[in-house]
A and B are shown apart, each in its own frame.
Chain A
Amino acid sequence: MSFPILSLLILTPIIGALTLSLSSSSQLKNKTIFLSGLWITTGEFLLSLLLPIFYDKTKNGYQFTEYHTWFDKFDINYYVGVDGVSIPLILLTTFLVPICLLCSLNSIQNRAKEFVIYFLLLESFIIGVFVSIDLVIFYVFFEAVLIPMFLIIGIWGGENRLYATFKFFLYTLAGSVLMLLAIIYIISKVKSGNIELISDFTFDQQIELILFLCFFASFAVKVPMFPFHTWLPDAHVQAPTSGSVILAGVLLKLGAYGFIRLSLPFFEYASIYFQPMIFALSCLAIVYTSIVALRQLDMKKMIAYSSVAHMGFVTIGIFTLTQDGINGAYFQMISHGIVSAALFLIVGVVYERHHTRMISDYSGVTNVMPKYSFFFMIFMLSSVGLPGTSGFVGEFLVIMSTISVSVYLTFFTAIGVILGASYMLLLYKNVNFGDLKTDIKQLADLTNIEIFYFSCLAFLTMFLGVYPKLLFEMINKSISTSIL
């Protein structure tokens, strides 16, 4: 038995949260609480860095596996492990959570202890999703994520937060329970919850279609895909900045990760059968939500809709069922995780100073906040998909792989890129350029902390854009062997 690094990754935040919750809050200042939270999450990040270092890229299958019996009778076991597909997402999570805590240092004043505790729990649940190789464990973590997120949006959200958080919770739950039934059915057939064993099992074709739809219901809500996306703008607009960051950065990826990890290997026939439906929905998502984003007056809402469009690329890429397509989709996931998180932080910065998210309330910000505009530009361009930034690689690969399926698909996907450029540039122009409004004048430029985390994110964006091979090396082997 080797070093149980994955269990440690799951348990560290929980233990941190427990220690924090047992300390009496009256004696601790907010700053101390946030600092201790930061120490824990930074430690977690450093711990997770061990994964790519010790991961053997030449081997097939899962590594760092741990196996404990859990429910003997049902053959449900605590079985965790990682492969190339999960490691980058784990790193993304552990990287974003400290940033979330950093950015709320000033904005979260009341009930800071609870805030840090919920974030720590959230982190450990998300990591749990990415490392589990057993369906029941996967489902447990997948659902458990809802609880801290519900509380984060509900307690620290905007004025309409109750509506948003209830919608978020119930939408996701309604999708997930259907997946639960499918999981139970699969376990009763295969007599095991082990993902590898289930991948080798072939179901009846009719049943496979139904099972696929059950999984689809859950993941499509989470991604979110076109008709199920309406919870996302509400949740994003009402959530505090840090909530939006983790929501856009990681939670949306849970759905796409589910497609890659579960839907494709389990249901080969159904994946091909439902390809047209998913392409249609994704194209609709890309074009429709981009147009909707063009007309938004609220910055957060615009970025939320752009998230739906970008995740449309991801689902298209995944369901081309080619190595390039899935690679591209995966790259887009990571890139969107960084860039959209950064964009929500960007909005958070001005919201904290000016207390409004309306685009029309801002004009000429670049005159008073030059550093801010600089970072805004980098992330905006990356979101648009400028070559040299991470946004380009994923979109390019996805569009390229669609040609093998259908030229029409390529056409609609490419339209999305143009529309994406138009609304992002519009947003950037309206906020940063133009006449300097009088009430904008006293806005202070970025503080050192903000510069620190923005430059981390900017560096990652540029680095991945220039040297995408780093990521592809990690995922290539796993995608070609275990997914396709």
Chain B
Amino acid sequence: MINFYQFIPEIFILTLILLTLCFGLFNKDRSIAINTLGFFILTLILINFGRDFYISTDLPLNTINLFVLSKIILSIGSFVFILLSKRPLKNENLYRYEYILFILFAILGSFVLISSDNFLTAFIGLELQSLSLYLMAAFNTKNLKSNEAGIKYFSLGALSSGFLLFGISMIYYDTSSFYMQNLNNFTTISEIGLSLILISLFFKVSAAPFHIWTPDVYEGSPTISTLFFASLPKFASLIFLFRVYQELNISGIQSLDYIFQIVCAISLLVGVYGAITQKVIKRLLAFSSINHIGFMLLGIMCYQFMSEGTLFFYLIIYLITTFGIFAVLLNLRTVEGEFTKISQLNGLRFTSNSKSISMLVFFFSLAGIPPFAGFFAKFFILSASITDGFFFLSIVAVLSSVIAAFYYLTIIKNMFFNKSEIELLDDNNKIGKVVFISFGLIITLYFFYPDPLFNLVDNLFK
């Protein structure tokens, strides 16, 4: 008898999908209202009863906490995202109810991916997520670049899914099981299979050298879709990567461990070197996200030292910062349409106090300059990595963050020192404003009172 208790969050989202399918066709506004309310309720349910859902399973408490916390974060993220998405979609004439459906399917896929014990389930979750993402990238059908982004993302994503399936089948050949816990004794075949699975996951989180799709897709897609790619699905894939690393004890297998370390170092470096010369802000953010993925992989690797805590903390801060930056970007428009170039930020200081100061906070936080929360996120990752003896990677990480500081400073320079050249239209989106101001405050005030955020993460891993 299958215990349906543990599927309640997924079933909840499925219900939301059905409701959206029913109502969305007739009333788009109502479907957005239903979904925001739905995710709000889901967050509350998960916070209060999250652990009870999994109690009947024989999973270790740590894993249950991991599921619950990441699902809470995903559902809060979706709540904020759906709230944010309405206005930008309207501006781009993309306000169609299918978009909300794609978000829901992607989130459903992420939920499945996070809590799957079985490689096939993980594959289904990942595909459900990815297919929605391809559509979201190509959603602006009248724009050539958006189409290009969708096709690029789809073809490369299909390739990586192929890798994933191939890897899974190799493991099945070796162990005749799809379950992760049955994979204990590694033969060469399952090592190769696992490395193929890792490659596919690296592709999903856009770790270098599997990052080629990232800048183009980020640039071409509508900005609101870019925000989604940069935040929630990536978060889910990272959590799954973390689970694979931890549950299969990859640090014990030397060849795979090397792959992990090399990918981490290359991501750190490729991210910063790619970003230096970028002129389009979304491309820059794409490369900067590659650099941050490097940090997160470093966090995944050193799990002896309360790693869930440090990794989660980094992820939360990174999500908050990403949401904040994109909320500002979505609030800005040029006469021609979406805001794209970094130089269009010139003189933002003179036109808008709240936006420029929030951006200052977010970018200094991404650069890891204290007293902003981004510094502490990096600090804890580095603490973990140094305690675990990853000296070389730590040095690469800090030096890459010095180079990263250069391009973050360039953006701040544009906003604060330069005179504006073109007129930026203020979208005056109230929700966006609330989001970036409150997230900016979280990032700043963390220094004065670190307990709540830290305890939240910490308590879940007792």
Which residues of A are interface residues toward B (Cβ below 8 A)?
Answer: 70-71, 73-74, 136, 139-141, 143-144, 146-147, 150-151, 154-155, 161-162, 166, 169-170, 173-174, 177-178, 180-181, 184-185, 187-188
Contact = CB atoms under 8 A, between A and B. Distances in A.
Contacts of A155: 416-417
23 contacts: A71-B450, A71-B454, A73-B309, A136-B379, A140-B375, A143-B370, A144-B370, A147-B364, A150-B412, A155-B416, A170-B406, A170-B409, A174-B402, A177-B398, A177-B399, A177-B401, A180-B382, A180-B398, A184-B383, A184-B386, A185-B386, A187-B383, A188-B387
A326 to B, nearest CB: 29
Contact of B370 (A70, A140, A187): A140
Interface size class of B (residues with CB under 8 A): 20 to 34
B371 interface: yes
Contacts of B147: none
9 closest A-B pairs by CB: A177-B398, A140-B370, A188-B387, A174-B402, A143-B370, A184-B386, A154-B417, A184-B383, A144-B371
Interface string B373-386: 00100011011001
Dominant SS at the B interface? Answer: helix
B344 interface: no
Contacts of B394: 181, 184
B369 A143 contact: yes
Contact of A70 (B379, B399, B417, B450): B450
B193 to A, nearest CB: 36
B410 to A, nearest CB: 8
A73 B306 contact: yes
A188 B386 CA distance: 8
A181 B395 contact: yes
B64 interface: no
B405 interface: yes
Contact of B379 (A151, A184, A185): A184
B257 interface: no
Contacts of B412: 150
Nearest to B403: A170
A177 B402 contact: yes
Given A140-B371, A143-B369, A146-B369, A151 B383 contact: no
Contacts, number: 74
B279 interface: no
B383 A73 contact: no
- Max chain B CB contacts within 10 Å: which of A140, A177, A188? A177
Contacts of A187: 383
A353 B344 CA distance: 37
A173 B409 CA distance: 12
B258 interface: no
Contacts of A178: 398
A436 to B, nearest CB: 39
Contacts of B380: 74
B242 to A, nearest CB: 20
Interface string B273-316: 00000000000000000000000000000000010010000000
B429 to A, nearest CB: 23
Interface string B418-462: 000000000000000000000000000001001000100010000
Nearest to A142: B370
A237 B86 CA distance: 50
Nearest to B455: A72
A390 B309 CA distance: 53
Contact of A150 (B379, B398, B409, B454): B409
Contacts of B417: 154-155, 161-162
Contacts of B395: 181
A298 B385 CA distance: 48
Contacts of A185: 386
A155 B371 CA distance: 21
A431 B221 CA distance: 62
B341 interface: no
